[in-house]
Amino acid sequence: MARARTLLAAAAALLAALVAARALLWEAGGGGRAAGGDIRLGSAPRLALEPLGGKREALEALGGKREALEALGGKREALEALGGKREALGGKREARACARLRAAVRVPTVSREGPGAADEVALLRFGRLLREEFPAVFESELVTHDLVANFSHLLTVRGADGGRTPYMLTAHLDVVPAPDYGWDVPPFSGEIHQGYIYGRGTIDDKHSLMAILEALELLLQRGFVPQRTFYIGIGHDEEIGGDKGARNIAKVLESRGVKLDFLLDEGMVILDGVVPGLQIPVAVVGVSEKGSLMLRLRVRTETGHSSMPAKESCIGILSAAITRLESNPLPQQFGSGPERALFEYLSPQFNFPMRVVTSNLWLFGPIFSWVLGQKPTTNALIRTTTAVTEFHAGVKPNVVAPLAEATVNYRIHPAQSVSEVLRLTEEIIADDRVELEVLSSMEPLPISPFDESATGYWTISKSITDTFPDIVSAPGLCIANTDTRHYQKLTSALYRFTPVWNKLEDIPRYHGVNERISLQNYKQTIHFYFNLMQNADQEEPLIKHFHTEDL
């Protein structure tokens, strides 16, 4: 009888795994719930969201007023139309905050590669904008402002207890180029359209920068004195590596002997409907960051007239090499990085039978990782990804090409290294005629602590809960690169999160067309940093804890 029960339990577990796999594949193939639609927002007790009700229906109603909003032209009347009055955003203060973000978007602080490519006029103009819009910050006796590398900014906010270890918040003011083609509104207009602020930088990363300063401005106006010192670092060239901005900010702090308790930068976001089978949105806090390797593949052959070609051309040889790379993805690393912790943290929030699978990854790990590998957004979490991004060859139609080149971009999982990926590439190509040249490389960053003793992680997690009580937070892997790599000498607790709501349809907006943030979401972003600056002091009693009703 005992053996029969064991066999029955094993059969039931296998059936659950198969059903879960089928469900996951259904979602991975696009058969799940639609990516578009509403944004689900929690109604935090301290958030003044009553005019919008915090409900999905209210947001859907706002989204249906397209013609009315367009007719209003994105002006103050548009804000009134969103809720029948300006208080729909929580009053005049929130309306002014949105106006300041729009003003920041209108300054085209575009980063480009090459000497002399920086738009110094725009960078200087942006610095003036910050000083003009946040007088309580830049005129406070508690705040010291350092201009770094001409265009980056370091703010030191002095705490009452000099014996406590400081922390740091970082963001960047530069953006990637934004051609006009494909946008619903001009990319540097900052226009309001259907309840969203559109423009380059609205989610990468001017929203974080402005929200941090908005939160500090509000607190200082109310007489807030932090218990411990903290720093705000604003880089001006993150989009091209941060070598002048963040790197020099870090050097300034290193020269002063600063050590940080933790650092929070941009990176991961709130995912809604992106993780298959998850019943509620999840705020993913990046506790590690992928490395990168940029390779140039090159094949040289004899040129000549196309009427007398050799058996193999450089184009054919290189194409075969690329086919081998794309047909042989690097090994999955599920369980070797923070991705397993992500799903274990989220396990109670999955529907059945996914809950069974994620609660027993010791058993179902292999099938679960295989399913994750079927979808680009989740495949990136479990392995080093291979992307062929460029291919160049040929001189004219009737000439055999003498040279073919391609660029391959790897994003390296924390369980691997640059040297290992380079070795695996050579083994997969297995053709000495293909030359490999390393254009750039960066090792993956170490995994930052997220256990019970990790005060930085739990400060961020608590601030997420305070702002969004109806979602869950979990540690995860940041698949993009950020400025955090420049601050590794200051702390081992590097975290990456900004409270932007993302559905599947929103992911292409990063560095793409129609980048946008909802008015409601930007307000919540301010509240998140407002909560964080106070929660960071909670190791000792607060003199006063301000609530968002005060706003």
413 annotated binding-site participant: no
Q: Where are the alpha helices (DSSP H) in 35-176?
A: 56-63, 66-72, 76-83, 92-105, 120-133, 135-138
308: its two tokens: 């007398």
Catalytic residue among 238, 466, 483, 506: 238
Reported in sequence order, the residue ranges of 368-445 that DSSP labels E, i.e. its strands, are 385-393, 399-400, 403-412, 435-442
Residue with tokens 């083609």: 181
107: its two tokens: 């300054």
Distance between CA atoms of residues 492 and 483, nearest Å: 14
Distance between CA atoms of residues 303 and 283, nearest Å: 55
Kindly report the number of other CB atoms within 10 A of residue 55's CB atom. 14
Distance between CA atoms of residues 547 and 121, nearest Å: 39
Residue 174 appears among annotated catalytic residues: yes
Of the CA atoms within 13 Å of residue 547, those in its CB half-sphere come to: 6
511 annotated binding-site participant: yes
Nearest to 226 by CA among 525, 490, 543: 543
Strands 282-289 and 399-400: unpaired
Residue 312 appears among annotated catalytic residues: no
Distance between CA atoms of residues 94 and 83, nearest Å: 13
Catalytic residue among 174, 191, 205, 466: 174
Backbone angle region of 146, left / alpha / beta, with phi > 0 → left and psi within -120 to 50 → alpha = beta
Distance between CA atoms of residues 546 and 222, nearest Å: 8
77 annotated binding-site participant: no
265 annotated binding-site participant: yes
34: its two tokens: 């639609």
Is 305 within 8 Å of 399 (Cβ atoms)?
yes
Name the helix (H) or strand (E) containing 263: strand 263-271
Backbone angle region of 454, left / alpha / beta, with phi > 0 → left and psi within -120 to 50 → alpha = beta
Is 260 within 8 Å of 168 (Cβ atoms)?
yes
Residue with tokens 């709130």: 270
204 annotated binding-site participant: yes
333: its two tokens: 């690393």
**Known binding residues:** 172, 204, 239, 265, 511
Catalytic positions, please?
A: 174, 238
**Known binding residues for Zn(2+):** 172, 204, 239, 265, 511
